[in-house]
Structure 1
Amino acid sequence: MTPIFAVYKKVPLVLQIVIGLIIGIILAVYCPEPFSFVKGFGELFVKALKSVAPLLVLVLVTSAIAAHQKGSRNQLWKLIIIYFVSTFLAAVTAVATSFIFPTTVNLKTAGPESAAAVSSIADVLSNILVSAVDNPVNALINANYISILVWASALGFMFRNAADTTKRVLEDLASVVTNIVRIVICLAPLGVMGLVYDSIVSQGGIEGLAKYLLVIEVLVAVMAISALIINPFLVFLITRRNPFPLVFNCLVNSAYYAFFTRSSAANIPVNMQLCDKMNVPRSMSSISIPLGATVNMAGAAITVSVLTLTAVASLNGGTLPLDIWTAILLCFMASICACGAGGIAGGSLMLIPLACSLFGIGNDIAMQMVGIGMVIGVVQDSCETALNSSSDALFTIALSKRQQMKEEARIQAVKAASEINS
C-alpha cells in the first residue's frame, strides 16, 4: 500500500477532486441504484467539516485575541465595511439584471403558510441578538457562529492577562485542531463524489431543473458578475494591483470546495488553510473568516432579490412595476437581512417573504417562491455558497496584502532615510 499511497499524495488535491466529481456524475447518471451507498461519503465529509468548524473557530479566535497584535482591530472594521459594500453591490446588480431580463414562473393563487418565514427586519435583528447570547455549549452543538464569536472574543480578552504558558497552551490547541481539519480536507475527493452523486439523483437527473432554467441562468449570471467583476474591482481598490490572480486563486482553492459542500460553515477550515498559505496573520484570519461566514452574504442578497422580483414579474404579466426608490429599498433590505441569513432556518430562502412584503405579495405566494428556491437549490445554493465563502477569503487576503505593502513601504522609507543620514 505504501507505493500506492505515495502516488496518491503526489496527485494535486484539486485534480483528485475533479476525478471524484467525474466518477460521481457517471455513477449518478448511468448506474445510480447499485451505488446508492456513495452518497454516504458526501454526508460523512460535510458532517466532519461541520463538526470540527465550530471548535476550530472557538479555539482560533480565543487564541488570536489572547495573543492580540496591534492594528488588527482597525483592519477588522475595514473588512466589515468591505463585506457590506460587496453585498449591497451584489443586490444592486441582481435588481438591475432582473429589470433587463425579467423572469417568470407559474404561481398558484393560494399556497401553504409557514410560521418559519421572517416578517420584518426587526425579526432578523432580534434573531441576531438572541443568537449572540446563546449558551456556549449549545452554540457549539448547533454551530451558532454569532454566539461562538461572542464567547471566543470574551474568552480571548480574559486570557490576554493570563500567563505566557497559558497562551502557549491555547496556541497548541489551535494547532492541534487545525491539523485535524487538514486530515478531514484530505477526504474531499470522496466527499465531492458523494455530494455530486446525491445532488443529481435527488433531483431525478438533470431534467428536474429544466423548467426553472431561466431563473437559474439569471441567478448564476449575477453571481458570476459579482465574483468576476464586482469583487475584482473592490480588490483593486484595496491593493491597487491586478486583482485577477488573487480572485482566481480563491475561486480554485475556496469556491470549489464551497460549491459542493454548500455550507459556509463547513468551508471555514478551507478558507483558514488558504489564508495560511497566503501568509495572512492568524490574528486577522481567525476572526475575519468566521465573521465573514456569518455576515458576508452577497450570494444571499442576490437570491432574495432575484426570486422576489421573479414573483413580482410573474404576478404582473412579465413586467416589473417598480420605481427607483422601491428598488433601492429592496437592495438595502436584501443586504441587511442577508447578514442574518445564517441564523435563520432555511437560510436566504426564508427571507423571501420579507422582501415580497414590500410589494404587497402575501405569504402564500412568497412561500411558493421559497419552494421553487429549494428545487433549484442544487445549483442556486451551491453557487451562492461558493460566492459567499470565497469572498471571505478574497477580501481577507486582499486587506492583509495591503497592510503588508504599507509595512514594506514604511521599511523602505526608514532605510532610505537612514542612508541619507549616513
Structure 2
Amino acid sequence: MKRWPLAAGAVVLVLGLVTGGAWMTLTPDHRTTFLVDASESPDFGEVADAVGAAASNMSADDSLALRRFGGTCASPDTSELVTPGTGQAAEIGDEARAIKPSGSATLLSGVLAAIDDFARTYPFRGSATNRVVVIARGGADACGKSADEVRTIVGKHTARAGVKIDFRFVGHRLAADQVKVLNEIAAATDARKPLLTKTSDELVTTMREISVPADLVAKEVKTAPCDGVTPETLAAAHPLGADVRYFDVKCQQDKFVLAKANTTTGQYDNLLVTFELQGDTWKYQSSGTSLPCGSIPQDVWQQWEMLCEFEAVVCRDGEAKVTDLDGVGCPTAIDIADRYRAAISAQQAQGQGLFWGSGEWSCVWPYEDGYSHAATPLKCTRTTDNKAVRLGDYQ
C-alpha cells in the first residue's frame, strides 16, 4: 500500500517534466498579430497583398495571427480570422485576401481586442517579442473618443494582459485629419509614430520592414545593399573610361543610386549617373546632365534633392483610359481616376466643371485653349505637389 504514494509522486513528476518541456518547445521567440482595417474602401486589395507579403517575409518559426476590424460605433465588428500559430504565413495571406470590406473604421475596438488576445495563457506568447502590426486604411477611428479617453482604455487592457506589446502602425492613403487620430491612438499604446504610405509598393515595403523582429532587422542592416555601394562597384557595373571617376555616391532605399562622374571632382559639367539594384546586381539606368525619372520613385528623387524628366505613362488604355502625367504612380493614378468616375456616376460632382475633391486630390472637367469643352478629358490634380492624372484622351 505504501508504494501508491511513491508511484503517484513519480507520475506527477513525469507529467511536470513533460509539461515543462512542451512549454519550452512550443513557446515561440516571436509572436505577431496583423490587425487589418477591413472597413469599406475601394483599394482594400492593396492592404491584403501587403499583409500576405509581410507574413511570407517572416520566419516559419514565428507565431502569426490575423485580426480584422470595421463596423459601426454602436456595434464595432472585430474578429480573429487566424489564431496564433507557426508556419501559417500562407494562411494569413489567403484569409486577408478573402476579407470583404464593409462598415466604418473602428480602430480602437480592434486594438483593444488585439491586446486582449495576448491576455490568454494559450496560444503561447513570444519569449522575445510580442507585436501588433496595424494597417489603418478606411480612416483611423470613426467613433470620436478623446485622446485621454483612448489612453485610459488602452492602459486598462494592457495592464490586464500583463505583457509588453510592441505596436507598429501604418496609415495607408489617409487624409490629414485621419492621420491626427491615428497618431493619438498610436501614442496611447506607447508606439512609435505611425508610418504613412501612399502607393501599394510603399505599403508592401513598409509592412515587410516593420514586421520583422528588431533583432533580425539589426542583422539585415549590417549587410544592406547600400552598405556595399562604392565608386569601385559602380565603375565595375558601368565603366566610363580610364580617367573618369565616380564620386558623391548617394544610395536610397537599398535599391537606387545616384552618383556623379568626372575626371576631376567639383567640376560644373559632372555627369549624373543612376543605378538600380536588380536581384543582387547593380544595373546602370541612365546618365546625363539631366535625367529621366524612369523606374525611380519620386520620393527618391526628392531625397536626392533632384528633379527628373517624367514621360507621361498610360496606366490603363481603352474606354477608361488613365494617364499618369507627372509620376504619381499607376496604382495611385488608377485609384483616383476610378473614384472620380464613380463620384460622377453617383452625381456627387458639382456643376458643368464636374468639380470633386477627395483628401489631397482635386478633380475637374477643365476648359483648355484650342479644345472644346466636350473634347477635353477629365483631370485630377494632387494639391500637395501639383502632379496630375488624365482620364480619357483629347477628342
Specify if TM > 0.5: no
| TM-score of the superposed pair, with normalisation by structure 2 | 0.23
The structure with higher relative contact order (CA 8 Å, sep 6+) is 1
- Structure (1 or 2) with the greater strand fraction: 2
What is the TM-score with the length of structure 1 in the denominator? 0.22
Larger helix fraction of residues = 1
Instruction: Mark the structure with the bigger radius of gyration.
Output: 2
